[in-house]
Amino acid sequence: MKEKLLAAMADLDEQTTLALVKELLQNGYTPLDIVEICRQGVELVGKSYSEGDYFLADLVMSEEIFKGVMQILEPLIPLDVQQSGVPIVMGTIEGDIHDLGKNIAIYLLRSHGFRVLDLGVDVSPAQFVESVNACGAPILGISVLLSFCVGTVKKVVDLFQEVGLRDKVKIIVGGYPVDEQVKEYTGVDYYTRDVAQALAICRLILNDQRPHN
């Protein structure tokens, strides 16, 4: 069933995708398991696009289907009403308007009681620095999907260094091109393409005492 969902996402078959999501839920899969399968599905869409088999309209379609999946899943992830404490600042890097992954990461963090300040997409290095400085956030999450925007992530890190705030904030990057090399090049503290790991990293940084579920 998991493979069928992956294939339906990759084939941009909306009806089958949504039906399978419901079926998987009934069979005990968690919303997070399903998000991960769908993420892999859209990754296949991206691969077909880069190989010339799919067009831009197909990328847009994959976004629509993913949103439909999230509409089913979101009500099942209870939002912790006691969102308190220091905020985590999050945004998509300048030049990049991809936000599906960022929004999922934010939703997951909020659903575990973290306060997250969402700066949206196309966020400049100066905006990131201003925001972290203004609210004293100990964590900054940057989403980057376009490889050519990785250099701008480095600019964010350099700007924090320049204004003397680098040691006040831990920076995590997430998104399609992130890996150990991107971490080394940009100078960020952590990278992840896995939202569950993102949650674990934030807990580690804040030494969070919330119950782990």
**Footprint of ligand B12 (CB under 6 A):** 35, 39, 42-43, 45-47, 49-50, 56, 59-60, 62-63, 90, 96-102, 104-105, 141-143, 145-147, 172, 174-177, 192-193, 195, 198
Report the DSSP beta bridge partners of residue 174. Answer: 143, 192
Q: How far is the CB of 49 from ligand B12 (least distance, A)?
A: 5
Quote the least distance from Cβ 34 to ligand B12, whole Å: 11
Q: Distance (Å, rounded) from C-alpha 87 to C-alpha 149?
A: 25
Kindly tell me which of 20 and 199 has the beta carbon lying closer to ligand B12. 199
Residue 83 burial (CB count, 10 A): 15
Q: Are 172 and 188 in contact (CB under 8 A)?
A: yes
- The C-alpha R_g of the chain, in whole angstroms, comes to 18
DSSP element (H, E) containing 163: none
Nearer to ligand B12, 29 or 164 (CB): 29
Triad 169, 175, 181: Cα angle to 5°: 75
Closer CB to ligand B12, 55 or 164, in the complex: 55
In angstroms, the CA 105 to CA 136 distance is 20
Closer to ligand B12 at the Cβ: 71 or 147?
A: 147
**Tokens found for residue 47:** 């691969």
Q: Which is nearer to ligand B12, 63 or 158 (CB)?
A: 63
DSSP code of 158? Answer: H
Minimum distance from residue 22 beta carbon to ligand B12 (Å):
19
- Compute the distance between CA of residue 166 and CA of residue 196 in angstroms, rounded to an integer: 25
Residue with tokens 């839920």: 25
Question: Among residues 135 and 164, whose Cβ is nearest to ligand B12?
Answer: 135
DSSP bridge partners of 171: 140
Residue whose entry in the numeric block shows the structure tokens 């969070």:
208
